Amino acid sequence: MNEMIFEAKDLSRSFTVGRSALRNLANRFLGERTPTVLRAVDNVSLTLREGETLGVVGESGCGKSTLARMIAGILPVSSGERHFRGEPYDSLLARKRDALKIQMVFQDPLSSLNPRLRVGEIVGEAAVLHGLVPRSRVKDYVVDILARVGLPADSISRYPHQFSGGQRQRVGIARSLAVKPDMLICDEAVAALDVSVQAQIINLLMDIKRESGLAMIFISHDLGVIRHLCDRVAVMYLGRVVELAETEQLFATPTHPYTRMLLDGMPKISLERRKFMPIQGEIPSPLNPPSGCHFHPRCPIATEHCRRTRPELREIASGHVHACLNVEAL
């Protein structure tokens, strides 16, 4: 088996919400009611090996981007451990700033690209700084990467705002790939692309993975893309991982009631008029999560037990874990 590249143990992240930082400080002195704490990611453990692609899926707001930013090392954790190639992030980063060879493609490309830099600089600068290419040859290097993500050579002298949404997303991908990371986190990185450009990008990522053993964490709402690209998939619900299995196993025999609901809703191209149904009942809020199993208000097989007890992840088949109190086996 390939070498372990990343390991997370019990990662959690909370945010204080609804008030400004100043207000929070004032509260502390004036002894006002404690501000609301939102637990965006709650005790998530993950591993990733070289050349492996892990998919992360789950409802909007369930904590995927927060988890991704912690893994990328750009968001501090509230608690938990992160290891890159066996070494804790803190000691790794203290030793050498760029030893963490993880890149992230952000969900929102506009806010992650410096608006004052031309695309040539955005994509090329880091590669030069990392010593991957001499400055004299950086232009060819950038043009080559841009071509691989399907952008014309004349893009290099343009600014981010002069591109379409999907073109900007590809600039973000090009920038990440330019520094030849060991691990790439893609947060909805192909969401704004039409299916043919999306296919081009996914094929490119699969090529790089085969050639250089690139490890990937791939966050997407598009279950078709997830199924196509990922080796394993983690399903999150309100901050927690509720099921994790190899991709084919998960799609063939999902066990957690939430995963089943998610896969049932998977859209297809058809000419039948689908009935778009409103969500039944209250949508659970991360600001005020349901007790016990977070999924109980929507779960068709919930029992009283589920309201009181937090289900822990447990293995139900080799490499297949889930957190449900009532589903025993496959």
Partner 1 sequence: MTEPFFQVDGLNTWFFTRQGVIKSVRDISFDLRRGEVLGIVGESGSGKSVTGMSIMGQIDEPGRIVSGSISLDGQELTALTFEEMRRYRGRKIAMVFQNPLMTLNPLMRVRDQMYEAISEHEDVSHREMHDRCIEVLKAVGIPSPEERLNAYPHEMSGGMRQRVVIATALLLGPDMIIADEPTTALDVTIQAQIIYHIRRQIDERGLGMIWITHDLSTLSELADRIMVMYAGATMEIGTTEDIIGSSRHPYTRKLLDSVPSRNTPGEKLRQIPGNMPSLLSLEKGCPFASRCERATEICSEPVPATQLSATHRIWCYHPFEG
Ligand X SMILES: Nc1ncnc2c1ncn2[C@@H]1O[C@H](COP(=O)(O)OP(=O)(O)OP(=O)(O)O)[C@@H](O)[C@H]1O
Q: Which residues bind ligand X (CB under 6 A)?
A: 15, 17, 38, 40, 60-66, 107, 161-167, 192, 194, 286
Instruction: Return the residues of window 264-293 that contact ligand SF4 according to CB under 6 A.
Output: 293
Q: Which does 288 bind (CB under 5 to 8 A by kind): partner 1, ligand SF4, ligand X, none?
A: partner 1
Instruction: Return the residues of window 82-121 that contact ligand SF4 according to CB under 6 A.
Output: none
321 binds ligand SF4 (CB under 6 A): no
Question: Per-residue contact track with ligand SF4, 236 to 265, x per CB under 6 A?
Answer: --------------------xx--------
Q: Which residues bind Mg ion (CB under 5 A)?
A: 65, 107, 164-165
* Closest CB 213 distance from ligand SF4, rounded Å: 36
291 binds partner 1 (CB under 8 A): no
Find the part of the chain contacting ligand SF4 (CB under 6 A) among 49-57, 177-185, 192-200, 297-305.
297-305
68 binds partner 1 (CB under 8 A): no
Q: Which two tokens stand for residue 160?
A: 């981010």
CA distance 50 to 296: 36
Cβ atoms 329, 322 nearer than 8 A: no
311 binds ligand SF4 (CB under 6 A): yes
225 binds partner 1 (CB under 8 A): yes
Find the part of the chain contacting partner 1 (CB under 8 A) among 85-93, 130-138, 261-269, 318-326.
261-269
Size of interface with ligand SF4, in residues (CB under 6 A) = 13
* Closest CB 239 distance from partner 1, rounded Å: 11
Query: In whole angstroms, how far apart are CA 252 and each of 20, 32, 82, 269, 314?
Result: 46, 52, 31, 20, 19
* Identity of the residue, 74 or 283, whose beta carbon is nearer to ligand SF4 in the bound complex: 283
Amino acid identity for residue 53 in this structure: T
Give which of 232, 233, 243 is closest to 311, Cα–Cα. Answer: 243
CA distance 53 to 44: 17
* Identity of the residue, 115 or 165, whose beta carbon is nearer to ligand X in the bound complex: 165
152 binds partner 1 (CB under 8 A): yes
115 binds partner 1 (CB under 8 A): no
* Closest CB 221 distance from ligand SF4, rounded Å: 21
Site of interaction with ligand SF4 (CB under 6 A):
256-257, 293, 295-296, 299, 301-302, 306, 311, 324-326
